[in-house]
Structure 1
Amino acid sequence: MSNFIVQNFAGSDGAKWFIGVVEDRNDPLQMGRLRVRIHGAHVDDKSLIPTSELPWAMPVMPLTGGGVSGVGSTVDVMIGACVVGFWLDWPDCQMPAIWGTFPQIEGTPGAPGTLHQQGNRINDVIQNGSVGGAGTIVPTGEGPQWLRIARGELAKGVAEWKGSSHNPEVLKYGKDLGFTTDDSEHPWCSAFVRWCLKNAGADVTGITGLAKSSLTAPGLEPITEPVLGCVAVYTRGGYSKSSIYGHVGFWLKREGGIDTIISGNTGDRVAVSTESVNKCCGYRWPRGFPKS
């Protein structure tokens, strides 16, 4: 059920804004809506989230428009444009609205208009006054056994079943934590990490159903820089790093201040997603295992 019918005035219900890149402007309803790949919500990989599955974003028109059908200006935003907007239905995140565009920022090599390139350019300009200084780490190789296990679950397409039935492939992750047939729609990112580590022979003592439990688990040691397959813990949404709310997964790479991870309970499935380095609470590595 959408949260579009808010309980209070705008902002008091926790309105969240975003940036994204326009991928489709052919609105079948001819209302000027745009499909936008949103930074932090959708990955760049279109094989995982194709353009056709992105939600339509409603444009916020200027007061010089008539506000009724057929009266006023049209939406001229082009594919590849970087836009800024907010969620009408936070935290469901299925009803985005956009109110403006960022100018094209030159200076980063590669194809223009991708989510990470546009987002990282803006981030660099705002924070550093320049382009290209946010840092990149792109490891090679297969990584440790638990990462290969996680990738296997990703390839299987493990996802929740909505309704009264529950996917046993999801429930297996939390079996040791007391998950029941009614729990597959509860947060399970930490259970996924725990299951992968355990099946690789790592010590999972202290890893509970809370994402941030990995930060204090005795079987995991802190590391200062991420390595392929390490456990990466982030704070959730607009919460502070000291809050109990978070997300956890296995680290894959960093590009321009954005970490890419494999995690459970990302869009109700095992998926590849992105997190800002600024939201990272720490990286951990299973004790007794060589770092790949």
Structure 2
Amino acid sequence: MTPIALTIAGSDSGGGAGIQADLKAMSALGTYGASVITAVTAQNTKAVTAVHGIPLDVIAAQIKAVLVDLDVSAIKIGMLATPEIIHTVADGIAGFTGPVVLDPVMIAKSGDALLAQDAVQTLRDVLLPRATVLTPNLPEAARLLGAPEAATPEQMVEQGLALCGLGAGSVLMKGGHGLGEICQDFLISPSGRVAEFKAPRRDTRNTHGTGCTLSSAIAAGLAKGLSLVEATAQAHAYLQGAIAAADTLSIGQGHGPVHHFHQVWPA
């Protein structure tokens, strides 16, 4: 069987994040990627200049069209701009029994908001309990919990456990916004089991789309039948390679993308 993963997210016209990054990562890891577009953004490496939410009936129709025909093994959920879109997506995947990777996209790399303030509570209440794994960065985890950002590994684990307590199956606390020469990510289960993933922190501004890429890479691994720990380890290694090769690309004037196909066409 061909492994198939579905991404439900917004479109990035600059190609570095969102649906475009998701499909690139899934393809690079040997998984067929299908897509449901929730919003269209006018976006490049410097800014998000416009956001247009897709009509709710069209989002619902996209989900139905994919799930009634394609044998989807895993779903990744990214940008959901409004409470209404969140409810539509939750209803659309209600009958799906496979793993769901929820990336709580809130802020673009440029600093522009991608999630309405009144949607945070809805995301927490409606979709977080549906997630096999939640993949927040430090600001996103803090916003979901209404708490200060974690500043130490111990606080990251504590916040991961708190998010598990809200219903997430597991939580991958990402340390990309942290400090220090080593970037630490922690995969935390409700039982308190913790898997750590470490990598050197790289001096590059070309990190646009890292969160989208990582969550999609995890979904790709889950679609291929890997365990969550195995899929996360594969995704982490893939993303580190994509970041390491990012500066070999020359894309835009702001925060450029990672190199999704560094294993296929290295510079």
Larger Rg: 1
Task: Identify the TM-score tier after normalising by the shorter chain.
Answer: under 0.3
TM-score by length of 2: 0.27
Please state which structure has a larger fraction of its residues in helix: 2
Please state which structure has a larger fraction of its residues in strand: 1
